[in-house]
Structures are given as structure tokens and as C-alpha cells.
Structure 1
Amino acid sequence: MQLNKPFATVTPTLDGDVLAVLASADATFTISQVHRILTTASAEGIRKVLNRLATQGVVLHDQVGRTNTYRLNTEHLAAEPIMALARLNSAFLNRLEEHLREWGKTLRYAAVFGSAATGHMRRDSDIDLILVRAGDWGREGDDVWGHRVTEVARLITAWTGNDGRIVEYAADEFRAAAAAGEPLLRDVAKQGLTVAGTRSWFNAQLRPASGRFDGVAARL
């Protein structure tokens, strides 16, 4: 699936894209406003979709002067599943957070990065996850950690249909990579979505080697 295009999981048509726009805000939209968001669709195609959805009652159509406006009918029986689909990205991140919380103190930090974080996923994109392990937990801890890493990769695929690509660092490996200014860590600092630990801790580990990070996409 494409986390940035959640309705594509159930329909490849323009209808899903239009519904995603309407479900994104409790507001009315004109055809031109929807068109500015869905730049690859034609205004005429958007108009046809909106009118078709209005005949189903899913969309409320009104006219202000000569301007047609549309909004999602939140009282419609289909509104709840439509809004749930629109929130699939947040639902995925929340579910991942809940799962990683069970790892306890063995996990120091985790973040989704790459196309899943930047909103540029394709249908066949991997979902990239960085894991930073806390300390040295011995051989038994290694076995538990290995099992957990395998399981979280499996869960990501089960939840989304995409391969989970895990990048893992032991504590000493992470310190060495941070000191060397590893580019992947810089990417995570700028665009990653935090799902375990805190972004402030992660950036603090990188600061001595590469200066202050803005962390503009932090999900604390």
C-alpha cells in the first residue's frame, strides 16, 4: 500500500483521491480547490466524481452564488470507514508505537524514514525503520532482540503489504556512526517519524559530529 494514498488500498480510481481530500478537513471545497491538491487529475474529472458521490449522499453539494461547494457528509453511514481510511498513515504509526512500547528498555530509539516518512511511497516501496538498541544485554538479550526485529518486519508487511526494511544499530555501532556523520542518520534526523524514544535524544547524539539538526518532520 501507499501510506500517502490510503484509498488506493480499496480503489485505484479518482474517487478515492477526492474522498481523501474531503476527509482531510471539516471544511467545504470548491472544484478548483480540490484540483489544486490533485494536480494530476482534470477539473472536469473531479467535478464528475464529486457529483457522483453527491448522488450517493456521501458528499453534500451546495451552491454559493455561481460557485459549487462540496463537503463530506459526516452523518452518512459510510463516513466513518471513509475517515478511517483517510487516517491509515496515523493508524500505522500508532500501531507501530504500541508494538515497540512492549520492547521496554532494550530499545532506545526508533523511527520510520525514507519514502514512508516523506510521503513519496510507490505501491512497491519498502517501509524503512531504524532501531537503536540500548546497551549490551548479553547472548540471551541478542536472541530476544533478533526475534523482535524479525517479528516487527513481519508485522509491517502484515499491516501494509509492504516489505519492512529494518536498519538496526547496537549502542556502540550507533555511537560510531553518529561520530562519523553517517548520512542515513542525518536523513532520519531531518525527515524521520519517531515511534520510540525521543527525537531530542537522537539529535543530541548526532550534534557533536554534525552540528544542530532542525528535525523539521519530528514526530515526538
Structure 2
Amino acid sequence: MQLNKPFATVTPTLDGDVLAVLASADVTFTISQVQRILTTASGEGIRKVLNRLTAQGVVLHDEVGRTHIYRLNAEHLAAGPIMALSRLNSTFLSRLEQHLDGWGPTLRYAAVFGSAATGKMRLDSDIDLFLVHGADSDDDAWEQRLTELARLVAAWTGNDGRIVEYTEGQFRAAAAAGEPLLDDVSKQGLTVAGTRAWFNAQRRSARRS
């Protein structure tokens, strides 16, 4: 799946893209506003989708002067599933946080990085995970956790999980050497365990030493 295009999991058509826009905020949209957000869709295509969704009752249509405005019908039976689909990215991150919370203090930090964090996923993209763990972790137990984490990511999304892991010592050595990957995690990573403050403090400390 593409976390940045959650409706593509159920429909590859323009309908999903339009619903994603309408579900993004509890406001009205004009056809031109939807088109500016989607960029590649034609105004006529968007109009046809909105008319079809209005006929289904999923979208509410009104006119203000000569302007046609549309909004998601929050009371429609399908509104709940539509909103749930629109939140797939945040749902994925929440599941990760909840799962990693059970790993205890041996996990110092974790973040999603790469295309899953920047909103540029392709259908075949891996989901990149960055982890730092303490040297006191049991090797066998740690490997089992990594295997289970990769399995869960694939089960939840259909995408392979690519896990990059460091011990604290390896992390500090990489930071001191100016490892570019750490810049990517710092600038674009989405923290799912530990704190960004800890990550940045460790990097600064390693660079000074």
C-alpha cells in the first residue's frame, strides 16, 4: 500500500483521491480547490466524481451564488469507514508506537524514515524503520523482536519492513562519522519510540567527543 494514498487500498480511481481531500478537513470545497490539491486531475473528472458521490449521499452539495461547494456528509453510514481509511497513516504509526512500547527500556529510539515518512511511497516501497537499542539487550530476544516487527509491518500494510538497527555505541560512532542516514532520520523521521530530543542530544554529544 501507499500510506500517503490510503484510498488506493480499496479503489484506484479518482473517487478515492477526491474522498481523501473531502475527509481531510471538516470544511466545504469547490471543484477548483479540490483540483489544486490533486494537481493531476481534471476539473471535469472531479465534477463527475462529486456528482456521483452526491447521488450516493456521501457528499453534500450546495450553491453559494454561482459557486458549487461540496463537503463530506459526516452523518452518512459510510462516513466512519471513509474517515478510518483517511487516517491509515496515523493508525499505522499508532500501532507501531503501541507495539514498540512493549519492548521496554532496551529500545532507546525508533523512527519511520524514507518514503513512508516523506509521503512519497510507491506501491512497492519498503517501509524503513530506524532503531537504536542498548548494549544490555539479549541478542536472541532482540532478533526475535526484529523478526516479529518485520512480520507485523508486512501484515499491516502489505509492504516489506526494512529495519536499520544500531546499538548505542554504533549509533554514536555513526554520528561522529557524519553518517548521512542519521541526517535523514533527524530531518524527516517520524518518532515512534523514545524522543527526538534524545536522538538529537546523542548526535550532538558524539560529534563533540
Corresponding residue for 1:117? 117
Report how many aligned residue pairs link the two structures: 208
Q: Which amino acid in 2 is paired with 1:114?
A: G
3-state SS of the aligned residue for 1:190? helix
Q: List aligned pairs for 1:28-177, cutoff 5 A.
A: 28-137=28-137, 141-177=138-174
Tell me if structure 1 keeps the 8 A contact 2:113–2:188: yes
Is the Cα contact below 8 Å between 1:136 and 1:171 reproduced in 2? no
**Mapped partners of 2:170, 2:65: distance in 1:** 64
The one-letter code matched in structure 2 to 1:29 is: F
Kindly report which structure 2 residues correspond to 1:189-204, keeping only aligned pairs within 5 A, or say none. 189-204=186-201
| CA shift for structure 1 position 172 | 1.1
Instruction: Provide, for residues 83-114 of structure 1, a one-character-per-residue CA deviation record: whole Å limited to 9, x for no partner.
Output: 00000000000000000000001100000000
C-alpha offsets along residues 120-176 of structure 1, whole Å, 9 cap, x if unaligned?
000000000001002323xxx100000001110110000000000000001211110
Contact 1:129–1:166, Cα closer than 8 Å, also in 2: yes
Conserved 8 A contact 1:112-1:195: yes
TM-score (structure 1 length as normaliser): 0.93
Q: Distance in 2 between matches of 1:134 and 1:198?
A: 15
1:168 aligns to what SS in structure 2?
A: strand
Q: Which residue of 2 aligns with 1:12?
A: 12
Could you list the per-position Cα deviations for residues 63-82 of structure 1 after superposition, in whole angstroms to 9, with x for gaps in the alignment? 00000000000000000000
Unaligned runs of 5+ in 2: none
SS of 1:75's partner is coil
Given that 1:181 and 1:206 are in contact with CA atoms closer than 8 Å, whether structure 2 keeps it comes out as no
**Contact 2:32-2:43 within 8 A present in 1 as well:** yes
Show structure 1 runs of 5+ residues with no match: 212-220
After TM superposition, give the deviation of residue 210 of structure 1 in Å. Answer: 5.9
RMSD between aligned alpha carbons? 1.0
The separation in 2 between residues aligned to 1:178 and 1:171, in whole angstroms, is: 10
Identity of counterpart residues, as a percentage?
79
CA contact (8 A) 1:181 1:209 kept: no
